[in-house]
Structure 1
Amino acid sequence: MPLAAIISIHELGKSTLASLDGDFQFSNLNPGVYHLHVTHLGFKSYSKNVEVGMEGAELSIQLNESEILLASLTVEANPFKNGPLEQSQTILILDREFIQRNNGGTFANAIEKLPGISTINTGVGISKPVIRGMSFNRIMVNDRGIKQEGQQWGADHGLEIDPFDVDRVEIVKGPASLIYGSDGMAGVINIAPAAFQQNGAIEANYSGMYRSNNDMISHSVFVDGNEQDFVFRARFTAQDFSDYRVPAENFVYAGFLLPIFDNRLKNTAGRERHFSFTGGLQKDWGVSTVTVSGFNQQAGIFVGAVGIPNINNLRHDGDHRNIDLPKQDNQHYKVIWNNTIQLGKNWMELDLGYQRNQRREFSFPHNQGLGENEFGNLALSLDLNVYTANLRLNQQHGEGGQSVAGFNVQHSVNRQSGFEFLLPNFESLQGGVFYFREQRLNSNLVWNGGIRVDGALHDIQEHLQPIFVRLQPTGEFEQRNADIYRRFLNWSGSTGISWVYKDDVNVKFNLGSAYRIPTPIELASNGVHHGNFRHEVGNANLTAERSYQADLNISLSKKKVLVSISPFFGYFDNYIYLAPAPRFSPLPGASLLWEYRQNNAIFTGGELLSQVSLVKNLNFSLGAEYVYNHNLDTGLPLPLTPPFSTLAGLEYKIPALGKNIQNMYVFVESRWAASQNRVDRNERITEGYQLWEAGLGWDLRLKNQPLQLQLSGQNLGNAVYFNHLSRYRLLNLPEQGRNISLSINIPVGIR
């Protein structure tokens, strides 16, 4: 069948469109091995390593038909831009269409419809991903090859990623410490840019979105081009939102019934401005680009999250869009230099990055028992500078084998200020070297394995905090943490297989032992963390975590059926977590004191991902996830464990209504979450809930201009429910009420 498929070469960032007869060509390729990726709507994607000689190479590809909508959500295994095809872990590939369709205002919310992925939310504009019940420093997020560093240890610290500036996402569920570093113990999220335009082409794009619940208005403008092998792209995004609505008129805090005026949570509005620019060269020897980006967010914090809420400070102030105290101001700037260079038949990747994360929290000093001070209303400032270098060399070993060797190194410098204290000044140097080998044992069976050594140096400075009595400084100081100097060194390893049976069944099995280095926040914190509403204290004597994990994935993929089952199990030696101490905090604005502790624990569970084409153009999907964990020393569950949940949906593709209205679809989804009764000591039980979502989308052509539109509604029943992972759940505040979303995407071909 003739195809107009998209063919991409990962190493060079090149792509081309096949003719209607299925012909395609890449010219001026040097001899070597290239990773080819082919996609087409209505067909399974295709990946292959192709060796090109002096005379070039001819290739015949036949794609298998698929009526499954998840065809773009490809179960592929390619953790490198130029790397192994059959990594034994399952890697979910998400494309731009999936991200745009599920954009909820943040990047983390855009991916939480996948089984095994949850989010920790603080209000609306702040969210961070959870993989199989683990988050914070056990999940690594890589943006253009560089590990994102944004004080990710905090539940109220969102992921500083522009949701519009994401084209391709690779999600590794399970231990990935071998390749990416010790923070990949629970999983890795790789954010990769799209292939560059062909020479001489320039395209632009506008994306807009409106969400009724908090009156969010989003605008994003993008331009992408290639001028005589000079490639460039730029994006600017603006998002503004007001206080969000909840289906409740009051809430209970510390036994008191307090009002929610106009069903809106006061001071939960926000303002965001993001930009990115990429420029570089795309040659026959490879690609070299520099990306400069900035993430700027101001977000109000619900007044009950800092200090004690009362009727006076909860009363509506006349403007639902203003950002008052308490609030946070987050800025994240990055400069990333990416290089993919051909060395004979081999490929070298070199990624260098600098990023600066500035997180500032503002509140009234008297809420924390303080008077006039040199910082004014600046409660906490964390200024983190990070320098990163990654080097990888991919080498071919005949037709059936290849290897990747490399190293990562990262230097971090953190400086704090403000009238509050949580995390001290520190410098940290950490890195590792690894070797990964893959060997095809026969046409259907691939083995891989590798080993890694990681080390770290943490130099944490003493902090002395001024003592106030009756809002006045006494001239005396309290030592909140002593000087700490710690060194760590250990190894990680994994091995696995990928077996294909009759082209329809793929079995992947992975065994690994991972090693995670304690972070400065776990070693030295000592202050009120308002995002978690508690006083948190580090432990300078913590040792490194060690995990032993097994991961299995069995997938069946036919023309009308896709079923993927992924059970997992992990034993964690010296698992680090926060637990309540048997005493109250002496600091204002806190109740119980929470300490970082270590215990042995197990994690187990699994995910189901399935889709069935019931009749032509009608698809049914079902996803399910379950996480069970157990503290082997206390006999209790670990905190912040997502409940068992399912997501079921129906989608119907409507036949084209003439030439001007095409690609129409209508869908309905239902999320059911069970009650979470397995909770840690002093953690609240959360009741189950059911939510409904529906929508429709279509492509509209006005003369020669195409437009893509989607209208959808979330929580259509306006249900009152609590998300077990929401930080406002601790204040007995329900989640957002009914929301209607309208999005538009306008591509423009300039040349």
Structure 2
Amino acid sequence: MAQEKRSLSITGTVRSEQGDGLPALIVVHELGKGTAADLDGRFRLGGLNPGNYHLHVTHLGYKALTRTITLTTNDLELDLRLSESAITLQSLTIEANPFKNGPVEQSQTIEVVDREFLEKNNAGTFANALEKLPGISTINTGVGISKPVIRGMSFNRIMVNDRGIKQEGQQWGADHGLEIDPFDVDRVEVVKGPASLIYGSDGMSGVINISPAPLPREGTIQGHLINSYRTNNAMRSHSAMVEGNEKDFVFKGRVTLQDYQDYRVPADRFVYAGFELPVFDSRLKNTAGKERHFSFMTGLRKNWGKTTVTVSRFHQKAGIFTGAVGIPNSYNLRHNGEYGNIEFPRQNNTHLKVISNTTVQLKKNWLEIDLGYQRNQRREESLPHIHGVGPTPEGNLALYLDLDTYTANARFNHYINADHQSIIGVQASFMDNRFGGFEFLLPMFQSWNAGMFYFHEYRWKENVILNAGIRLDGARHQIQAHEQPVYDASLNPTGETVQRNPDIDRDFANLSGSAGMSWIFNEHTNFKANLGSSYRIPTPIELSTNGIHHGNFRHEIGDANLTSERSYQADLNFTHSLEKLLVGFSPFFAYYQDYIYLAPTGRFSTLPGASTLWEYRQNNAVFAGAELKFQWAPIPGVQASLAGEYVYNQNLDTRLPLPLTPPASLLGSIEWSLPQTTRILENGYLYLEYRQVASQNRVDRNERVTGGYGLVHAGLGWELLVAKSPWKFQLSGQNLLNTYFFNHLSRYRLLNLPEQGRNINLHLKIPISLKSI
């Protein structure tokens, strides 16, 4: 009862610089609790304990505002002013900064997108929707499988955090997608540059934080239905969501279904290993698939904090292009006319997650605890004779990877005074991998990882904020040896075995640190600098793999003697923001000592059904480059933007570029907000985009060069009031000119297969309100 007596409130008004009231959204970050101001801008947030809070204030057409406030013994009244901005994304706040105190105070380069952005740029997968951001590209295998690349790096150098827990699967493989429902993502923050200090060693190149939306308002039950259709491969997507809050008991559930057929390419033949092979009906055989996802969250929100538990399951069954297993020939590429069949070879993946998130107020401080369990099961199914083996006890199960991961993170956010804040954090994880099937790629292993860090922020002057931190990590890999059966020319077992990898027992320990600065010249100009030294331990796949990675069409070999790689990184960011103009420039440089990478050898594998031999190597390397962002609103209702990116790298030992480096690219777009002509048709828009990608001639030895190309995209959308409910319609098109091009990062580039042709996307979102205040 004592806490109830001390309950406090925040009241105030949100106004424009001219003094007009604004119906803005005000959210208390730590509690996930928010309210909407009335038409005069007045608001009230009650039921708060004494302590420190971060308020996020947003309203379309205005720059987002973050305010740190302190409640002591009395209620607090605020007068909040928002600056006008015609730049849409400036209405989003940044929360990836550990102190959550605004976009200009934090020292790193962070891009933020919300549900509206993701829906407008729906490309079938979560990773593909992020490609519109500068510095972000994707590695693709067919349609439903993609993973992000930040500044030329991917795999284990990028962390994907879902609700505070690192997504763990087979992220080392280009043909292993993120296994995240694209419709179940409400907000994404991409941290570019050195982020290892707070997030762990896999954050060398960047971190993608998937944050849940604010918890539902008390007394409401609402939801939506989403339906979309993509013409290129007849992809049908259906997603339903419902959420509510009854006396601070919150819940949210979602179900998503996706089905798609073999996709079309603007070609009827391709050339591989000197042979010209057909693409029947311009469709890549056996690239169909289906996905089934569900998630459910429940929890409590009180004045002392909040706690939630989320259970989700992602399931995907997808074909692998027939020519990617064994040597492609005209016979096995011929279609049977059933474009939706998922034949052999194929992958059947399931990712189960249970995540607990708890935030507790301790006087002026906050304790955050994230716990997670993940089970990632990957089954690759294929016909044994294609792999040079006879009938096996495993049947058609070529490869089975079964990974259990347990994760625990805790952060104590300590408020010292108005100028000093600090965070003490600990992180730990345990991974247990098992495998089966008649093929071999990755052995059984157990891996332990633990780390602790200290991070401090100091407001040296009102317009100069400094931060620094240090981190200590330790890890251990225990990898079991594997003996593989040998088959004779008649595909019968000989009774002999060959060792594919030895026993490996390795320990690692490293110290890392970083420091940053944000210098706010004035309300329009901001300069940031971030320096860091981090490390990454070699993963079990890099140490021990020795098998055919069919989705990549290559034989990969690890090296048990790899050591930890160390990086020294510098990241700068300059931003100039006006009401109708935003200019951002972000150069970066990094030196990597003992950089681990997968390189082509130029030799063919001796294993049946394999292609070229790739091996993990370790050399010193440098990375450099920059991103440019330009947004301009020349007249009301019109917004033009330009986003450019360039990555340069070099192996300092071979004096050659590193493999799989994304080429330079430029994305230009113009969007027009359509004038409202009727009361039932509103918020219309029309956009046109053009992406120019340069040739990639800087390639590693035995790596193909890739020519440049240009793509045209366009779209329009509007809201239609149906029974006072705004139904959202969208119509968009990608590669409208049906351009024939190669994506340098696509796995099918190794087979000289072009990317998807023209694709038209229809999208409908229907909001549902079951109960309102």
Distance of 2:324 and 2:564 partners within structure 1: 32
Q: What CA distance in whole angstroms lies between the structure 2 residues aligned with 1:300 and 1:207?
A: 25
Aligned to 2:732: 712
Equivalent position of 1:233 in the other structure: 252
The structure 2 residue matched to 1:518, chosen from 527, 538, 561, is 538
What CA deviation, in whole Å up to 9, does each residue of 1:190-246 have, x standing for no partner? 001001111111101111111000100100000010011110000000000000010
The CA deviation at 1:54 is 2.1
What is the Cα deviation at residue 397 of structure 1? 1.4
Q: 1:376 aligns with which of 395, 404, 408?
A: 395
Q: Structure 2 matches for 1:286-305, cutoff 5 A?
A: 286-305=305-324
- Runs of 4+ in structure 1 off by over 6 angstroms are none
Is 1:317–2:336 an aligned residue pair? yes
Per-residue deviation, 1:83: 6.9
Paired position in structure 2 for 1:43? 62
Alignment of 1:327-406 (within 5 A): 327-406=346-425
Residue of structure 2 equivalent to 1:662: 682
2:468 pairs with 1:449:
yes
**Other-structure match for 1:262:** 281
User: Secondary structure of 2:331's partner?
Assistant: helix
Shift of 1:69: 2.5
Return the alpha-carbon distance in structure 1 between the equivalents of residues 629 and 669 of structure 2.
12
Q: Which runs of 5+ in 1 are unaligned?
A: none
Aligned length: 750
Q: 1:204 — aligned with what?
A: 223
Distance 2:67 2:622 in 1: 37
Cα-to-partner distance string for 1:557-596 (whole Å, 9 max, x where unaligned): 1000001000000000000011233643221122332211
Inter-partner Cα distance in structure 2 for 1:398 and 1:633: 49
Give per-residue Cα distances to partners, 1:522-579, cap 9 Å, x unaligned.
0000001112211111111100010000000000110000010000000000000112
Aligned partners of 2:308 and 2:356 also within 8 Å = yes
1:489 maps onto 2:524 in alignment: no
Q: Which residue of 1 aligns with 2:134?
A: 115
Partner of 1:79: 97
Match 1:573 to one of 593, 596, 614: 593
Which of the residues 446, 471, 483 maps onto 1:427? 446
Task: Write the mapping of 1:671-690 to structure 2, written as runs, cut at 5 A.
Answer: 671-690=691-710
2:538 is aligned with what amino acid? P
Q: Map 1:583-732 to 2 at 5 A.
A: 583-732=603-752
Q: Is the 1:2–1:22 contact (alpha carbons within 8 Å) kept by the matching residues of 2?
A: yes
Tell me which amino acid in the other structure corresponds to 1:278: M
Structure 1 SS opposite 2:541: helix
Cα distance in 2 for residues equivalent to 1:721 and 1:54: 65
Q: Structure 1 residue 742 and structure 2 residue 762: aligned?
A: yes
Residue matched to 1:177: 196
Of 226, 233, 238, 1:214 maps to 233
Match of residue 301 from structure 2: 282
After superposition, give the CA deviation of every residue in 1:373-411 in whole Å (9 maximum; x if it has no partner).
111111100000000000000011111221111110000
In 1: Cα distance, 2:393 partner to 2:751 partner? 31
- The one-letter code matched in structure 1 to 2:582 is L
Quick one: distance in 1 between partners of 2:319 and 2:269? 20
Q: Which residue does 2:562 correspond to in 1?
A: 542
Q: Which runs of 5 or more structure 2 residues have no equivalent in the other structure?
A: 1-19
CA distance in 2, matches of 1:73, 1:337: 26
> Does 2:62 correspond to 1:34?
no
Q: Which of 271, 274, 297 lines up with 1:252 in the alignment?
A: 271
Kindly provide the CA deviation profile for residues 69-99 of structure 1, in whole angstroms up to 9, marking residues without a partner as x: 232465x464338578722112111111111
| In structure 2, C-alpha distance between the alignment counterparts of 1:622 and 1:187, rounded to whole Å | 22
CA contact (8 A) 1:84 1:438 kept: no
Distance 1:582 1:692, change over 3 A: closer
2:43 alignment partner, SS class? coil
What is the CA distance between 1:113 and its match in structure 2? Answer: 0.6
Matched residue SS, 2:90: helix
User: Partners of 1:656 and 1:145 in 2: how far apart?
Assistant: 41
Q: 1:84 to 1:557 in 2, by over 3 A?
A: closer
Give the CA deviation at 1:622: 0.2
Name the SS of the counterpart of 1:111 in structure 2: helix
Assess if the C-alpha contact under 8 Å between 1:145 and 1:351 holds in 2. Answer: yes
CA contact 1:44–1:63 (8 Å) conserved in 2: yes
Give the partner amino acid of 1:534: R
Judge conservation of contact 2:228–2:761 (CA < 8 Å) in 1: yes
Tell me which residue corresponds to 1:530: 550
Other structure's SS at 2:131 match = coil
Give the Cα separation in 2 of the matches to 1:197 and 1:125: 31
Q: In the alignment, what sits opposite 1:186? A: 205
* CA distance in structure 2 between the aligned counterparts of 1:430 and 1:455, rounded to whole angstroms: 6
SS of aligned partner of 1:750: strand
C-alpha separation in 1, matches of 2:641 and 2:511? 40
Instruction: Determine if the alignment matches structure 1 residue 94 to structure 2 residue 94.
Output: no
- Amino acid paired to 1:520: P
| Distance 1:82-1:392 versus aligned 2 partners, 3 A rule | farther
Q: Write the letter of the residue equivalent to 2:158.
A: I
TM-score by length of 2: 0.96
1:98-155: per-residue Cα shift (whole Å, max 9, x none)?
A: 1111111100001111010000000010000000000000000000000000110000
Name the CA distance, whole Å, in 1 between partners of 2:479 and 2:509: 18
The 2-side partners of 1:532 and 1:260 are apart by 19
**Residue identity matched to 1:451:** I
Q: Is the 8 A contact 1:72 1:93 kept in 2?
A: no
Q: Is the 8 A contact 1:72 1:95 kept in 2?
A: no
Given the two structures, how large is their TM-score scaled by the length of structure 1? 0.99
Cα separation, 2, equivalents of 1:22 and 1:100: 29
Q: In structure 2, how many angstroms separate the alpha carbons of the residues matched to 1:208 and 1:77?
A: 30
Whole-angstrom CA distance in 2 between matches of 1:517 and 1:473: 38
How far apart, in 1, do the equivalents of 2:411 and 2:95 lie?
17
Distance 1:586 1:360 in 2: 24
SS of the residue corresponding to residue 570 of structure 1 reads strand
Once residues 729 and 91 of structure 2 are traced to their aligned partners in structure 1, the CA distance between those partners, rounded to angstroms, is: 19
Asked if 1 retains the 8 angstrom alpha-carbon contact of 2:96 and 2:191, the reply is: no
